[in-house]
Chains A and B, each alone.
Chain A
Amino acid sequence: MKNEVPVVVAFFTGMLMVVSLFIPHPVVSTPASVVRQWAIIITAFAYVLGVANIARISLHNVKRRQRDWQYKAALVFALATMATIGIALGIESGGVFDWIYLNMYVPMQATMFSLLAFYIASAAYRAFRARSPEATFLLVTAAIVMLGRVPIGEKIWSGFPGLTEWIMEVPNMAAKRGIMIGAALGAISTGLKMILGLERSYLGGD
């Protein structure tokens, strides 16, 4: 029951998805679409489980007055407030939920990502020291792409935007395709291992 049932469930749900691609008949596609909808519903519960786990760990921290418990209390308060307002009052634009999203969530997210502009400079210094042909390729390409995307680049040499476009469409595209094909093969083999029960790490211990 503990190990066999999950493997059987994973096999049938997974095979149903794969078979529905090759046999587009209602006998297969109808149950496949039903199971797909089930997966979406269970995933929604999984989201809530993750959030409940954050709240549980944070509340445990607050209760025991562990290190930084004040921040955990703020986290739980923000979480509870946002979830309650969203569920009780709705998520329509112009409402309180939307106001919090636009004036708290969006600015903080944008600022967090913009912080990387400062740290990327020190990372660039370490990465861009042209000590080998590979590092030189990295340095030159990054410099051209950056210059090709700003007005000053075009002022220096009118060919920078065109050269940037060519780099993005030719050597960059070729390498990206290689990575994507490799990743696709990896995803297919991992998916098959999951469906066939050869990969069971998602079952956890015991």
Chain B
Amino acid sequence: MRGARLAILIILLGLAGAGFQAGLVSKAGLGTWVAALLTLAIFSFLYRDNPVYKLAEHIFIGIAAGYFVALEYWNVFLPNLWKPLVAGLEHIEYSPLPHFPNMILLIPFALGILLFTRFFPRVAWLSRWSMAAMIGSYSGLAIIGALQGDLVAQIRANMVPLYSREALTAFGNDGTESLLFGLLELLRNPLIIVGLLTTLIYFFFSREHKGGLGVAAKIGIWFLMISFGASFGYTVMSRVSLLIGRLHFLLSDWLGIVR
């Protein structure tokens, strides 16, 4: 049984190879077919969890993992570690002994290798040194990033006047719609200030949300709900847009029904 399956697989691969070689199947055409079949395999989950979907799902995980390994190899390992480390070997003809100008890079190389001690329980603790170097560096970078990018920048962006002259003159006199948008423009800055303050009060858990604090926290929840609703609407639109894209690919690129 296993031999028969293997034979069928070899025949199919041979046919595909022969077709490819003879120009019967173009590289682009084969790509469209593969993409279409994998798309249908993933869509089959809409019926229920099934072997075809599971196979596609596992292939996807494998490809994604392999993709990132190759990416790390070319974008990080070679340019940042390997090439600088062996650069000294280029001068071997001028010197009896190769010299390594970036010997210090042996430290991150060793720390990287030490990570793999996690596979050996007796020496697994050695991987903590590498983890510590990583966690320490990224914690420091996270502090700087959060300070500069989020905390200070967001507080500064919220330092706005309660109203602006432009907002006062934004009222048009050509109908209800213009009046509505004029009013909304007038409310822009006050709502941004109130929204931020009440949202922060909602996240302040050191005191019970009662009285004035409770009212402010309640208003904060309303702002949060508006934000979640907006995010939800955006997510729905992006997913539907992706779905339209996949259906268009199947009907246009693959089947050629839609032009």
Contact = CB atoms under 8 A, between A and B. Distances in A.
| A and B form one complex | yes
Given A7-B132, A159-B180, A76 B116 contact: no
Given A45-B113, A86-B71, A117 B243 contact: yes
For the complex, would chain A's binding face be called helix, strand, loop or mixed by DSSP majority? helix
B133 A13 contact: yes
Contacts, number: 420
Nearest to A81: B66
B116 A107 contact: no
For the complex, would chain B's binding face be called helix, strand, loop or mixed by DSSP majority? helix
Interface in B148-186: 148-151, 154-155, 157-158, 177, 180-181, 184
A97 B243 contact: no
Contacts of B98: none
Nearest to A137: B225
Given A6-B131, A51-B69, A82-B63, A112 B42 contact: yes
B95 to A, nearest CB: 26
Contact of A171 (B108, B119, B154, B195): B195
Contacts of A54: 61, 65
B143 interface: yes
A85 B180 CA distance: 60
Given A37-B80, A99-B31, A86 B66 contact: yes
A105 B246 CA distance: 13
A118 to B, nearest CB: 6
A84 to B, nearest CB: 8
B147 A184 contact: yes
Contacts of A23: none
Contacts of B195: 170-171, 173-175, 177-178
Contact of B137 (A13, A99, A102, A107): A13
A107 B249 contact: yes
Contact of A101 (B55, B67, B116, B194): B67
Given A45-B130, A79-B66, A117-B239, A13 B140 contact: yes
Given A9-B133, A49-B116, A134-B222, A142 B229 contact: yes
A187 B148 CA distance: 12
A68 B77 CA distance: 34
Contact of B59 (A12, A21, A78, A202): A78
Interface stretch (B11-19, B33-41, B206-214): B33-41
Contact of A47 (B68, B104, B136, B220): B68
User: Which range holds the interface residue count of chain B?
Assistant: 35 or more
A195 B136 contact: yes
Contacts of B68: 47, 51
Given A42-B134, A56-B119, A204-B128, A75 B235 contact: no
Interface in B217-235: 220-235
Interface of B: 27, 30-32, 34-36, 38-39, 42-43, 45-46, 54-74, 76-77, 80-81, 104-105, 107-109, 111-113, 115-116, 118-119, 125, 128-151, 154-155, 157-158, 177, 180-181, 184, 187-188, 191-196, 198-200, 202-203, 220-237, 239-240, 242-243, 245-246, 249
25 contacts: A9-B133, A10-B135, A17-B141, A42-B115, A78-B63, A81-B62, A85-B66, A86-B67, A87-B70, A87-B74, A103-B32, A105-B64, A108-B59, A111-B246, A124-B236, A138-B225, A142-B233, A145-B230, A175-B224, A175-B226, A177-B192, A178-B223, A187-B142, A194-B135, A194-B139
